[in-house]
Structure 1
Amino acid sequence: MATTENEVPATASEEKVEKPQEENSTAAPPTENDVSAAEEDKSASAAPEAESTPAEDNAEKTEEKTGDEEKADGADKENKVDEKKEEKTEEPPAPEPHALEAEELFKQLSAAEDCQSLLHKHLTQAVLDKLKGKKTALGGTLAHCIRSGCENLDSRIGVYACDAEGYKVFSDLLEPIIKEQHKLSEKKAVHHPHADFGNLDKVNLENLDPDGKFIVSSRIRIGRSQDGFAFAPAINKESREQLETKTVEALNALTDSLKGTYHKLAELDADVQKSLAEDSLTFDDSDRFLKAAGGYGDWPDGRGIFVNEEKNFVVWVNEEDHLRLFSLQKDGDIGAGYKRLVTAVKALEEKLTFVRDDRLGYLTVCPSNLGTTMHTSVVIKVPHLAESDKLKPLFEKLNLNAAVVEGEESGVYQISNRRVVGLTEIQSMNEVYQGLKEIIKQEKELAWRPENVGEMFEHLSKAKACKSLVKKHLTKDVYEKLKEKKTAHEATLGDCIISGTLNLDSTIGVYAADAESYTEFAPLFDPIIKELNKLKAADAIAHPAADFGDLENLGFTEFEAEGSPIVSTCVGVARSHKEFAFSPVLKPEDRVQAEQKIVEVLKDLDGDLKGSYHSLESLSSELREQLQKDGMVFSNTDRFLKAAGVYSDWPAGRGIFVNEEKTFVVWVNEQDHLRVLSTQKGGDVVAVYKRLVTAVKTLEEKLTFSRDERLGNLVICPSNLGTALRASVFIKIPHLSARKNFKTVCDNLKLQARALDGGLTEEEVGVFEVSNKRSLGVTEIEAVKEMVSGIQEMVRLEKEAASSKPKSCTVL
Structure 2
Amino acid sequence: MTLEEIVKYPLEWTKGKGERSDVAISSRIRLARNIAAYRFPVRCDAGELKEIADAISKVLTASPMLKRSKYVAIDDLSPLARQVLVEDHLISPEFAKGGAGRMVALDERGLVSIMVNEEEHLRIQVIMGGLNLQEVWRIAQAIDEELEALGYAFDERLGFLTSCPTNVGTGMRASVMVHIPALEQMRSCGSLIRECNRLGLTVRGTYGEGTEAEGALYQISNQVTLGLSEEELIEKVSSVVAQVADQEEAARQELLRRQGIKLEDEMWRSWGALRYARLVSSREALKHLSLVKMGSDLGITPHLDVEEWNSLILNIQPAHVEAFAGRALSPEERDVARGNFLRGRLKMINEE
Q: Give the structure 1 partner of residue 134 of structure 2.
A: 686
Matched-pair contact (CA < 8 Å) for 2:105–2:113:
yes
The answer to whether residue 158 in structure 2 is matched with residue 711 in structure 1 is yes
Equivalent positions of 1:225-624 (< 5 A) are 560-561=19-20, 564-607=22-65, 610-620=68-78, 623-624=81-82
Q: Give the structure 1 partner of residue 118 of structure 2.
A: 670
Matched-pair contact (CA < 8 Å) for 2:60–2:66:
no
Equivalent positions of 1:762-777 (< 5 A) are 764-777=214-227
Matched-pair contact (CA < 8 Å) for 1:609–1:695:
no
Distance in 2 of aligned mates of 1:759 and 1:708 = 33
Matched-pair contact (CA < 8 Å) for 2:26–2:130:
yes
Secondary structure of the 1:584 match is: helix
Distance in 1 of aligned mates of 2:57 and 2:66 = 17
Structure 1 residue identity aligned to 2:31:
V
Q: Give the structure 1 partner of residue 289 of structure 2.
A: none
Structure 2 residue identity aligned to 1:578:
A
Please, which of 180, 195, 206 is the counterpart of residue 756 of structure 1? 206
Structure 1 residue identity aligned to 2:229:
T
Q: CA deviation at 1:715?
A: 0.4
Q: CA deviation at 1:803?
A: 3.5
Structure 1 residue identity aligned to 2:53:
E
Distance in 2 of aligned mates of 1:637 and 1:695 = 21
Matched-pair contact (CA < 8 Å) for 1:572–1:726:
yes
Distance in 1 of aligned mates of 2:92 and 2:18 = 28
Q: CA deviation at 1:768?
A: 0.4
The structure showing larger relative contact order (alpha-carbon pairs under 8 Å, at least 6 residues apart) is 2
Q: Give the structure 1 partner of residue 9 of structure 2.
A: none
**Distance 1:745-1:665 versus aligned 2 partners, 3 A rule:** same
Distance in 1 of aligned mates of 2:179 and 2:49 = 39
Please, which runs of 5 or more residues in structure 2 have no aligned partner? 1-16, 256-352
Matched-pair contact (CA < 8 Å) for 2:91–2:113:
no
Q: CA deviation at 1:786?
A: 1.2
Distance in 1 of aligned mates of 2:171 and 2:104 = 19
**Distance 1:609-1:799 versus aligned 2 partners, 3 A rule:** farther
Distance in 1 of aligned mates of 2:211 and 2:138 = 34
Structure whose residues are more often helix by fraction: 2
Secondary structure of the 1:741 match is: helix
Give aligned-pair identity as a percent: 26
Structure 2 residue identity aligned to 1:654:
R
Distance in 2 of aligned mates of 1:760 and 1:710 = 36
Map Cα deviations across residues 731-762 of structure 1 (whole Å, 9 max, x no partner). 0123334224222221344321013379999x
Secondary structure of the 1:662 match is: coil
Q: CA RMSD in A?
A: 2.9
Q: CA deviation at 1:682?
A: 2.6
Q: CA deviation at 1:787?
A: 1.0
Matched-pair contact (CA < 8 Å) for 2:133–2:234:
no
Q: Give the structure 1 partner of residue 314 of structure 2.
A: none
Please, which of 172, 180, 187 is the counterpart of residue 733 of structure 1? 180
Q: Give the structure 2 partner of residue 203 of structure 1.
A: none
Please, which of 654, 660, 669 is the counterpart of residue 102 of structure 2? 654
**Distance 1:654-1:790 versus aligned 2 partners, 3 A rule:** same
Map Cα deviations across residues 368-427 of structure 1 (whole Å, 9 max, x no partner). xxxxxxxxxxxxxxxxxxxxxxxxxxxxxxxxxxxxxxxxxxxxxxxxxxxxxxxxxxxx
Map Cα deviations across residues 743-788 of structure 1 (whole Å, 9 max, x no partner). 2221344321013379999xx5211011112310011111111111
Distance in 2 of aligned mates of 1:760 and 1:725 = 23
Matched-pair contact (CA < 8 Å) for 1:663–1:678:
yes
Please, which of 778, 798, 803 is the counterpart of residue 228 of structure 2? 778
**Distance 1:743-1:634 versus aligned 2 partners, 3 A rule:** closer
Map Cα deviations across residues 561-602 of structure 1 (whole Å, 9 max, x no partner). 4x6301111111100110111123213221111110001111
Of residues 591-600 and 613-622 in structure 1, the stretch that sits farther from structure 2 once superposed is: 613-622
Distance in 2 of aligned mates of 1:750 and 1:790 = 11
Matched-pair contact (CA < 8 Å) for 1:746–1:753:
yes
Matched-pair contact (CA < 8 Å) for 1:772–1:783:
yes
Structure 2 residue identity aligned to 1:694:
A
Q: Give the structure 2 partner of residue 527 of structure 1.
A: none
Matched-pair contact (CA < 8 Å) for 2:178–2:217:
yes
**Distance 1:768-1:621 versus aligned 2 partners, 3 A rule:** closer
Secondary structure of the 1:571 match is: strand
TM-score by length of 2: 0.60
Specify the structure having the higher radius of gyration (Cα). 1
Map Cα deviations across residues 221-248 of structure 1 (whole Å, 9 max, x no partner). xxxxxxxxxxxxxxxxxxxxxxxxxxxx
**Distance 1:559-1:620 versus aligned 2 partners, 3 A rule:** closer
Secondary structure of the 1:768 match is: strand
Matched-pair contact (CA < 8 Å) for 1:749–1:790:
no
Q: CA deviation at 1:802?
A: 3.0
Distance in 2 of aligned mates of 1:759 and 1:715 = 23
**Distance 1:725-1:760 versus aligned 2 partners, 3 A rule:** closer
**Distance 1:624-1:698 versus aligned 2 partners, 3 A rule:** same
**Distance 1:760-1:704 versus aligned 2 partners, 3 A rule:** closer
Map Cα deviations across residues 178-205 of structure 1 (whole Å, 9 max, x no partner). xxxxxxxxxxxxxxxxxxxxxxxxxxxx
Q: CA deviation at 1:795?
A: 1.4
Matched-pair contact (CA < 8 Å) for 1:608–1:661:
no
Secondary structure of the 1:560 match is: coil
Secondary structure of the 2:204 match is: strand
Matched-pair contact (CA < 8 Å) for 1:575–1:675:
yes
Q: CA deviation at 1:707?
A: 1.2
Matched-pair contact (CA < 8 Å) for 1:750–1:786:
no
Structure 2 residue identity aligned to 1:796:
D
The count of aligned residue pairs is 234
Distance in 2 of aligned mates of 1:718 and 1:617 = 28
**Distance 1:672-1:632 versus aligned 2 partners, 3 A rule:** same
TM-score by length of 1: 0.27
Q: Give the structure 2 partner of residue 798 of structure 1.
A: 248
Matched-pair contact (CA < 8 Å) for 1:614–1:656:
yes
Please, which runs of 5 or more residues in structure 1 have no aligned partner? 1-557, 639-646, 806-812
Q: CA deviation at 1:681?
A: 2.6
**Distance 1:673-1:776 versus aligned 2 partners, 3 A rule:** same
**Distance 1:793-1:636 versus aligned 2 partners, 3 A rule:** closer
**Distance 1:682-1:579 versus aligned 2 partners, 3 A rule:** same
Q: CA deviation at 1:623?
A: 4.5
